[in-house]
Amino acid sequence: MLTKNLLAMAAAGLLGEALGLAQHGHQHQHEKKDLVTEVVTVTDWVTVTAPLVFVANTHIHKTRSRKITSSAAAPPPAPATPSVVPPPAPTTLFTEQKVASSSAAPAPPASVPKVEAPAPAPPAPTTQAPAAPSAPAAAPAPSAAKPTTAAAKPVVDTPKPSSGQVGTAQRGLAYNFARYLPSFIGSGTKIHWTYNWGQLDDSGIAVEFVPMLWGMSKGFPATWHANAQKGIDSGSKALLSFNECDNDGQANLSPADAAAGHISLMNPFSGKARISTPAITNSADPNQGIGWLKQWFSACGGKCAVDFVACHIYGVDTNVFLQHLINVHDAFGLPVWLTEFAFSGSPEFINQQLATVIDQIENNATFSFVERYSYFMVAEGLLISQDNINTLGHTFAYGP
């Protein structure tokens, strides 16, 4: 449970950050400040047990408590910094998965075994979303329901699929503050793209920027067309749709509303850039995560332009993590972008987990459907420590 001292320290940190950023005058600063304040004032909703198991609903809602299980020490606190760009805040899930104190959590395992995840069975032929090339099956994949014919047929009938080749997945940087980025793109970097949950590129580095629509509120739809086209003209090859419509702390849209918004705002760019689905959480609730996206495809009625699925994964171990990627691909038969993910535990244990999934995504043909992935996020206490890239950041940007 958070102590009064921790609350005081968090409040002081938020105040200092707010004062330091007041001069920038960027849009929607208040939203992110409120986001963090809400997290630090919740003092009695996490219970830590062992061993680590899959969290059925990893997004914590304001109206109810949620028991979270973990095998590792508390993750570093999420940044309390507002976005540089007009974009809204990134997902809140990782920041909400805090344990009461570092002494309450059991020590992580000494090592993480190499995961040899089973290859998914090729999705059944449909007239909906074209399936990404599947690797030869090493073992039967867990069954996953397929969307109906009307549900999954995108407007883009011949999207550019992933190459299906080992080692083609591209790492990207999810960031708010561009000043941290240069240390991630030195000699030998494996970073190929960036995004900031917003529409405009302020990265200042020579890699592809991917604009995101994010939501239907706060004026984002009004600026989307011009900014998305600007991104495409500057070299953006893809566009990201809504951010976690299945999370009431983020875009928070029904499948029907998200389908209508996607058709109106994303479809005009079909053929100009590759287009994502709304990004989903890894919640197992039938109205969230994969279940929500199936409802979205159904609401689209075959009219939504789609080239790949965007998903997020938090709060699970590497085995469940990798299996969830397979489940997402099995459900929709499309390439996958993992635009947010993070692990819990000590810095050393988190680094082990990150190295494990990098190895699997890039070297195991089972996961050749993963086109791009980005860790949450380039920020102090996560991939940055004392304004410099830390061990975790170096693993992500330069590791094997």
DSSP string, 291-315: HHHHHHHHHHTT----SBEEEEE-S
Is the pLDDT at 135 greater than 80? The verdict is: no
Cα dist from 400 to 188, 189, 394, whole Å: 10, 10, 10
**Three-state SS at 11:** helix
CB contact at 8 A, 265 and 222: no
Q: pLDDT, tens digit, for every residue of 87-101? A: 444 443 332 332 222
For the structural domain made of 149-398, what CATH number should be given?
Answer: 3.20.20.80
Is the pLDDT at 187 greater than 80? The verdict is: yes
Residue 387 and residue 33: Cα distance in Å, rounded?
Answer: 20
Residue bearing the bigger pLDDT, 59 or 200: 200
Shortest CA distance to 350 belongs to which of 312, 327, 376, 328?
376
Q: What is the pLDDT of residue 95?
A: 29
Measured over the CA atoms of residue 45, residue 378, residue 164 and residue 118, the dihedral's sign is negative
333 in the Ramachandran plot: left (φ > 0), alpha (ψ -120 to 50) or beta? left
Instruction: Give the confidence band of 400 by pLDDT, cuts at 50, 70, 90.
Output: confident
Q: Where are the domains of the chain?
A: 4-96, 149-398
Is the pLDDT at 134 greater than 90? The verdict is: no
For residues 165-188, average pLDDT: 95
Q: pLDDT, tens digit, for every residue of 244-277? A: 999 999 999 999 999 999 999 999 999 999 999 9
Spatial strand order of the sheet with 274-275 comes to 212-214, 238-242, 274-275
Q: pLDDT, tens digit, for every residue of 221-250? A: 999 999 999 999 999 999 999 999 999 999
The residue whose two tokens read 């600063």 is 29
